[in-house]
Chains A and B, each alone.
Chain A
Amino acid sequence: MGQRIREFDWSKTALGPVDTWPQSLRTCMRIMLTSRQPMWIGWSRELIKLYNDPYIAIVGGKHPFALGTPISVVWKDIWRDIEPMLKKVMEQDEGTYVESQLLIMERNGYPEETYYTFSYTPIPGDDGRPAGMICANTDDTDRIISERQLRTLTQLGKKLNNCRVNKEVIENTIASLKENQYDFPYVLFYSIKGDKFIFSNASDDAIAATVPAEIELSDNTSFALCLRESLSTRKPQQLDNVKMHLGEMPNGAWPISSNKAITLPIVQASSKEPYGVLIVGTNPYRLFNEKYRSFFSLVADQMAASFADVRVLEEERKRSEALAEIDRAKTIFFSNISHEFRTPLTLLLAPIEDALHDSGISEEHKIRMNVAYRNALRMQKLVNTLLEFSRLEAGRVEGRFSPVDIGSLTEDLASLFRSAIEKAGMQLIINKGDVHDTVYVDVDMWERIILNLISNAFKYSKEGTISLSIEQKEKDVYVSVSDTGIGIPEDQLDKIFNRFHRVENTEGRSQEGTGIGLAMVRELVKLHHGTIQVTSKAGKGSAFIIKIPVGKEHLPAEKIADTPAEFPLYKHSEAFVQEALKWVPEERKHINVNEDSGAGSSAAVGIPKYKVLLADDNADMQDYVYRLLSDQFYVITASDGEEAFAKALEYKPDLLLSDIMMPRLDGFGLLKKLRNHTETKNIPVIFLSARAGEEAKVEGLDAGADDYLVKPFSAKELIVRVNYHISEKKYRQLSEDLEIIVQKRTKELQRSNEDLLQFAHVASHDLKEPVRKFKTFIGRLQEEYGNILPEKGRDYLNRMTVAADRMSSMIEGVLKYSSLNEEGEINTSVDLNEIIKSIEADLEVMINQKKAEIVKDELPVIEGAPVLIYQLFYNLINNSLKFSRENPVVRIFSSVETVDGMKYAKIMVADNGIGFKQTYANKIFDAFSRLNTKDKYEGTGLGLALCKKIAERHHGSISAAGEEGKGAVFTILLPI
C-alpha cells in the first residue's frame, strides 16, 4: 500500500499534492503504514480514504478504487451506520469506539453480515482542529457467527436430550432453532408418511396457515422436487422463490428476506427410512457456502439422531410390554389349570389317606400307597403355590397380621427340616437373637416364606451347613437363611426372584421345581412391607436376608388381629418336608446285581436275566420302575447322568431307561456319551420324559434314542418296549455278526475259485509245451522212420498222435473256459447271420464229408462279444454234426420271446442226431461231462459247458431237450 500511495496522483484530489500535506497527516500515515492492524485514515472534510495492507481484506472488492476516494462513496453501504460516528469525531473532536458492530457491508458484490470492532480517532490539523481521522479495525465476524451457531447447537443438544416421542423432537428442534433468528428466520418440518409429505410444525403459527399441509411425493412443483431431491441425495438443497411456494415468511432478525430456504433431509446414514425434511429460511446476508452448509448438517444430524433415539426407546418399551404380557399370560394359564386340578387332587388325597390308616392293608400295598400319597401331595403343593401366586399378583390376597414371637415361630418352622437335613449328613444351625419389639406377621404366609427358603437351601446344598438367624437391628427384624451349597452365578442374581426363572443345569439334589418359589416369597415379604435380598458365590453358598419392620404402624389397620394366631397351622409343612426327604439318597438294595438272585422272579432257572439300567433323579420313579421290571430283569439305578454313565461302563446293561431332566448330566448328554464310547455305543436307549408332544419325541429320537416314552406311561407299555428293544438289539447284533461271517466266507470262496482258475490256466499253459513236443516228435518218427516200421508200430504211433491231439484240445478247452472269467470283452453288434455263415465256412470240410445240411431262419442282430458268440454257435453246430447219424440236418430257428418283461432273441439249434435222454438235459452242460464213451465220439466234455458260460455271460441262457435216437434241440436266449 505504501507504494500505491506514493504513486497515487494526489493532486487530483482534495488533498492536493503530497508535498502540501500537513505534518500530522504525514505522521499518521507513517503510523498506519507500519501498523499490522487494519487501519485507515480519512482526511479533509470529505474524508478521503487512505489505508494499509491489512485493511485490504476489509475493503474487499472495493480495493483499489477505495484509495483516494471520499469515505462516503467508499462506504455507501454502511454510511448510515458510520456517519453519525464520523460526525462526532470531526465536529466534536471526540473519539469513538464500538465493539462487534453489525455492519451489512457490500464489498464483495452482495450484502454481507459482518461484525467489527473499530475506533475513530480525530487527527488535528495545523490549526488544532480535526483535519482528518484514523480508524483501527478488528474483524469480529467469524467469532460472532461461530458463537451464535455454537449456542444454537448446544441449545439443540440440551433440548433434544430427553425426547420420548417424535412430536417432542420436532417441537424442541424448532424451539431451539427459533432462538437464533439471525440464522433461522423461520423453520418448518415436514414428516413423511407413505408417499406424502405432511406438514408437522413450524416456528410461527402464521406459517402453518399458509404452507401446504400435504404434498404428494410425486408432485411436480419445484417445492416437491426440492424435497424429493434432498431426500434422494441426502444433502441439503436450496429452494428459491420461497414466497411463491410457501407464501410470506418471517424475516427473522433481518429487515429483509432472502427468499431462499434450505431443505435438510433428516435421515440417519444407517437407516433406510427418512424421518422427514426440515426447511429453514436462510440468512439474507450470508453466502450459502461450505461453512454454512456444514452448520446445517450438524443441526440435521442432531435431529436425526434424536429421532433414532426415540425409535429405540419405542422398541424397548414394546419389547418389555410384550414380555410382561407373556408373563401375565403364563400366570393366568397356570392358575386356570391349577384350579381344575384342585378337586381331583382332593379326591385323590382323601381316599389314599384313609387307605393308609386302614390296618387291613398289606405292607406291600402300603408302600405303593405311600408313593401315590407323596406324589399327590407334591402336586397339591405345586397347584397351591401357583394359585396363591397368581392371586398375590392380582392383589387379591390380603394378609391377616397377628403379633408373634418371630424367633420361636421361625425356629419351629425350620426345625421341621432338621431330620431330613441331618439324614443327609448336613447341619442345621439356628441362631435366635434377641427381638425385643413385637413383630406382626401373617402366620400362614410366614410359614410359606421360611419353608421355601429352607427347602431351597437344602435342595441346592449337598453338604455342610444350613444356618438360620433371627435378630433385631433398630426398628427392623432381620431373618437370614444361608447355606454352603452350589450358590448362584453372578449373572443370575438379579433374575432369581423373577417368576418362572430357573437357574439352568444345577448340581442340586433335584431338578424338579416350577421357578415360582422365590417369586412368591418376594411377594409375600412385600406384603409385610419388607424386603428380601440375596448374596451368593457360585460353589460356596448363598444367603437370603429378609428385613421387615417391627410393630404394626406400617400395616393396614383393618388387617391386624391383635390376638396371637393359632400357632402355627403347619398347613404346608408336610408337603415341603416330605419332598425334602425324597432328596436324600436311600440305600438301594437293587443296585447290586449279583445279590438279587431273582427272589420272586418268574424267570426259569438257567435263563439269564437281561440287565436294565435306570437313570432318574426322582426317587419315587426309581422305586416304581424298579418294582415293575425287577421280576424279569436285573435293574440297576442311577440318580443322574454321570452316575448312569459310570454304571453303564461297569455293568454293560442290555438297555438304558433314562429320564431327560437330571442334574449333572441330562438324558441327551448321557446318550451322547454312551454313543461315543465303543463299549456302550450299542446299548439301546429309551427316554422317559414328562415332555410330551411330537417335537420332544422327534428330538429324542433324532439324538439317537431308540424309543421315547411319555410320563405317565402304563406298566405294560414299559415292559413291552423294554423287551422289544432288548431283543431287537440282540437280533440285530446277531444278524450283523452273521453278515460279517457270510461276507468273509464269500470272499474266501471267491478267492479259492480264482485260485483254481488261475491254476487251471497256468497248468494248461505249461502242459501245452510237452504236448506239442510230443506231437512233433511223433510226427518226425512217422515221417522219417514210418516206412520201416511194421504195421503195429505205425498203429502205435497213430494212437499216440490221437491221444496227444486229445490232450491238446482238452488243454485248449480248459484254457478257453478259464479265460472266460476275465473281463474286458467289448460288446458290439453281432449279426448272427454272419456268424453262422463263417461257422459254415470253417466247418466246410466236415459238412461236405457228412453230407450235412444247415437250414436257417433269418437271424437277428444282438449285442455281444463276437468271438464268444461265434464259439457258442460253433460248438453247438459242431456237436450236431459230430453226434449225427446219416444225412444230418441242422435247423436253426429264430423268434422273439419276452421273459419277465425283458425281450430275448430265441435261437433254436435242432438236429436229427443221436440225441440224449431228457433226464440228462441239465447234466450235459456240466464241465467235463460226457454222455458217450471217448472212442465212440470225440469230445472234451467242455463244449457245452463253454456254451452255457458264454450264454450266461451275455445275460442269456441255454437249455437242451433231447430224445434218444431222435435228436436234440438247444434253445439259446440272448437279450436284444
Chain B
Amino acid sequence: MQQMIRTKKFLLTDDDRDDREMFSEALASIAPDVVYHWAADGRHALQLLASNDKPDILFLDINMPVMNGWELLNKLKKDNNYNDIPVIIYSTSSEQRDKEIAKDLGALCFVTKPDNFRLMKSILKAVVDNLDKNSLDSLCADIENILHKQ
C-alpha cells in the first residue's frame, strides 16, 4: 500500500495566545513537518483561506471576537470552496449542547481542550496519523478514547 505522505497543513483559529502557543508547541513536538497557520478570529481565518492553499484540517475555537467559531463554521460549510475541509471544534466547553451544535453545523469532531500538555500531544498525533491513513473516519473515536483514558 503506497502511502502518500505529503506536507500537511493545519489552520488553528483561536483568539487566545497561550492556547495557540501550546498548540503549536505540541504540534511541533510530534509532527514538526506539519505546516501550521493560525488566525485570531473568524474574519482573519477567512482572509487566510482566501490567499493560501487549503489546509488539510481546521481547528476552530468557539468564543472569539468579531466572528465566533459557529459563525465561521457555518460560513465555511456554505461555501463550495471550503466546505470539504474537515473541521474540529476545539473549545473549552464540555457541554453536550455545544457538541450537538458542532455536529449539526457539520464539524467532524468536537474536542474539549485538555488541561494537560501530554494529552494535547496525543490528540494531535492521532489527527496526523489519521490524515496519513487518508481516512478520518475513526479520528473522532480515537480522540474520544484518548480523552477517556483520563
Contacts and interface: CB of A to CB of B under 8 A. Distances in A.
A364 interface: no
Interface in B93-141: 93, 113-118, 120
The interface centre, meaning the residue of B92, B113, B114, B120 with most chain A CB atoms within 10 A of its CB, is: B92
A776 B116 contact: yes
B92 A783 contact: no
A808 B117 contact: no
Nearest to A776: B115
Among B19, B113, B115, B116, residue most surrounded by chain A Cβ atoms (within 10 Å): B115
Interface in B13-37: 16, 18-19, 22
A776 B117 contact: yes
A779 B92 contact: no
Given A768-B92, A769-B92, A775 B118 contact: no
A772 B22 contact: no
A779 B119 CA distance: 11
Nearest to B19: A773
Contact of A773 (B18, B93, B118): B18
Contact of B117 (A765, A769, A779): A779
B113 A772 contact: yes
Contacts of B118: 779, 783
Contacts of A765: 92-93
B117 A780 contact: yes
A732 B93 CA distance: 53
A771 interface: yes
Contacts of A776: 22, 114-117, 120
Contacts of B116: 775-776, 779
Interface string A108-120: 0000000000000
Contacts of B113: 772
A768 B117 CA distance: 16
Contacts of B92: 765, 768-769, 772
Given A773-B18, A776-B22, A808 B93 contact: no
A783 B117 contact: yes
A864 B118 CA distance: 38
B115 A779 contact: yes
A772 B93 CA distance: 11
A776 B23 CA distance: 12
A772 B120 CA distance: 12
Interface of A is mostly: helix
Contacts of A808: 115
A843 to B, nearest CB: 15
Nearest to B96: A867
Given A765-B93, A776-B22, A771 B115 contact: yes
By size class, the interface of chain A is 10 to 19
A773 B120 CA distance: 12
Contacts of A771: 115
Interface string B19-60: 100100000000000000000000000000000000000000
A775 B115 contact: yes
Contacts of A768: 92
**Interface-central residue, B116, B117, B120, by most chain A CB under 10 Å:** B117
A117 B103 CA distance: 115
A772 B115 contact: yes
Interface string A323-358: 000000000000000000000000000000000000
A769 B114 CA distance: 11
Contacts of A780: 117
Contacts of A775: 115-116
B112 to A, nearest CB: 9
Contacts of B18: 773
Interface string A766-801: 001101110110011001000000000000000000
B20 to A, nearest CB: 12
A780 B115 CA distance: 10
Contacts of A769: 16, 92
Contacts of B22: 776
Contacts of A772: 92, 113, 115
A794 B54 CA distance: 44
A709 B120 CA distance: 89
Contacts of B117: 776, 779-780, 783
A768 B118 CA distance: 19
Nearest to A780: B117
Nearest to A778: B115
Interface in A727-778: 765, 768-769, 771-773, 775-776
A763 B93 CA distance: 13
A562 B118 CA distance: 145
A414 B132 CA distance: 129
A779 B120 CA distance: 12
A768 B22 CA distance: 17
Nearest to A771: B115
A804 to B, nearest CB: 8
Contacts of B93: 765
A765 B91 CA distance: 12
A839 B16 CA distance: 37
Contacts of B120: 776
A587 to B, nearest CB: 81
A780 B29 CA distance: 13
A492 to B, nearest CB: 81
A815 to B, nearest CB: 8
A376 to B, nearest CB: 88
Interface in A478-533: none
A496 B18 CA distance: 106
A628 to B, nearest CB: 73
A860 to B, nearest CB: 27
The 6 closest A-B pairs by CB, nearest first: A775-B115, A772-B115, A780-B117, A776-B115, A779-B116, A769-B92
Given A772-B115, A776-B117, A779-B116, 15 more contacts: A765-B92, A765-B93, A769-B16, A771-B115, A772-B92, A773-B115, A775-B116, A776-B115, A776-B116, A776-B120, A779-B115, A779-B117, A779-B118, A780-B117, A783-B118
Interface of A: 765, 768-769, 771-773, 775-776, 779-780, 783, 808
16 contacts: A765-B93, A769-B92, A772-B92, A772-B113, A772-B115, A773-B18, A773-B19, A773-B115, A775-B116, A776-B22, A776-B116, A776-B117, A776-B120, A779-B115, A783-B117, A783-B118
Interface of B: 16, 18-19, 22, 92-93, 113-118, 120
